Amino acid sequence: MLESETDGAEVGVSGLLVVDIGNTRTRFGLWEDGGVEGVSAVATESIAGPAEVASQVATLSGAPGGHGLSLALCSVVPRAEAAWLAWQRKQGGRALAIRGDTPTPLDNCYDDPQALGPDRLAAAVGAVRRLGAPVIVVSLGTATVVDAVSEEAEFLGGAIVAGVQTGLTALAERTAALPQVTVEAPERTIGRDTEECLSIGAVVGTAALVEGLAARLRDIVGDSAPLALTGGYAELISEHIWIEHEMLPSLTLEGIATIWEHNRGRA
């Protein structure tokens, strides 16, 4: 819900801090003139309380101390979300913590909207804002998520698999012989040692998975549905996707801002 922490004048959209709290990293920036400015990223685990939030916000141009900024966020890490909201309460202004059932410009068709990750919803809203509907949205982070929005602007859901690095880590932990490797751009498609095979499987395999799921979802929502990529591994995977797609790094942040605007009248 949209909460007001002060009785002062309403803060304009130009004074909006948008925050996407993921399992691995947190991205944030200022929403100004229909775009996100000064986008920064920090390890989610490094934000333990309001003091760490204040330190990060102070790096944003035109936001000394963050006083008076409104805050809109989506989070999959409750502890980190609590830190950002605690910081906002000290600063004053309004805050919106997006949930899976938060009203948006989309018709949410998820069976249990409360169980829907708010980052998935925000990315879908951002994709429709940028590319229209129908659209297929791919978020490449700790998990690889492929979601579909219909021509009628319905969020339909999608598929979730282990993320690029997450899958490699799981193999190293659950097997006796496979080593831990860090994701790197492969130089070829056929690996000649175990480490290279793992890297190719993670990167090229994820690209092929995205292509395959996109094709199947287009059978449902329409062949004309554009494909949007976002997330920390999007740039790496994009190089190995052979079908046309859009790289939109700030997609989720833009969706968060769009949801904020949609809910401002409901405060």
On whether both 132 and 222 belong to a single domain, the answer is yes
Distances (CA, A) of 124 to 14, 47, 109, 182, 265: 22, 26, 13, 29, 21
On whether both 63 and 130 belong to a single domain, the answer is no
| 32 within domain boundaries | yes
On whether both 177 and 244 belong to a single domain, the answer is yes
| 258 within domain boundaries | no
| 260 within domain boundaries | no
Own/partner pairs for 218-222, CB < 8 Å, 24+ apart?
218/136, 220/148, 220/156, 221/134, 221/136, 221/148, 221/149, 221/150, 221/151, 221/156, 222/134, 222/151
On whether both 225 and 139 belong to a single domain, the answer is yes
Assign residue 88 the CATH number of its domain. Answer: 3.30.420.40
Please tell me the pTM assigned to this model: 0.91
Q: What's residue 66's pLDDT?
A: 60
pLDDT in tens, the chain (267 residues): 444 333 333 434 448 999 999 999 999 999 988 899 999 999 999 999 999 998 888 877 555 556 678 999 999 999 999 999 999 998 877 899 999 999 999 999 999 999 999 999 999 999 999 999 999 999 999 999 999 999 999 999 999 999 999 999 999 999 999 999 999 999 999 999 999 999 999 999 999 999 999 999 999 999 999 999 999 999 999 999 999 999 999 999 999 999 999 998 554
Catalytic residue among 20, 119, 147, 223: 119
On whether both 111 and 188 belong to a single domain, the answer is yes
| 43 within domain boundaries | yes
Q: What's residue 249's pLDDT?
A: 95
Task: List the domain range (segments joined by +) for residue 164.
Answer: 107-251
Query: What domain count does the chain have?
Result: 2
Candidates 158, 117, 144; CA nearest to 233 is 144
Q: Which of the 8 DSSP states describes residue 2?
A: E
On whether both 114 and 82 belong to a single domain, the answer is no
On whether both 122 and 241 belong to a single domain, the answer is yes
Q: How far apart are alpha carbons 32 and 212 in whole angstroms?
A: 36
| 266 within domain boundaries | no
On whether both 83 and 113 belong to a single domain, the answer is no
The residue with tokens 């799981």 is 170
219 is a catalytic site residue: no
On whether both 118 and 230 belong to a single domain, the answer is yes
On whether both 198 and 117 belong to a single domain, the answer is yes
The residue out of 73, 98, 123 marking a domain boundary is: 98
- Which residues have CB under 8 Å from 176's CB, separation 6+? none
| 161 within domain boundaries | yes
On whether both 89 and 118 belong to a single domain, the answer is no
On whether both 112 and 94 belong to a single domain, the answer is no
Q: Which of the 8 DSSP states describes residue 115?
A: G
| 61 within domain boundaries | yes
DSSP codes, 148-181: EE-TT-EEEEEEEEE-HHHHHHHHHHH-SSPPP-
| 257 within domain boundaries | no
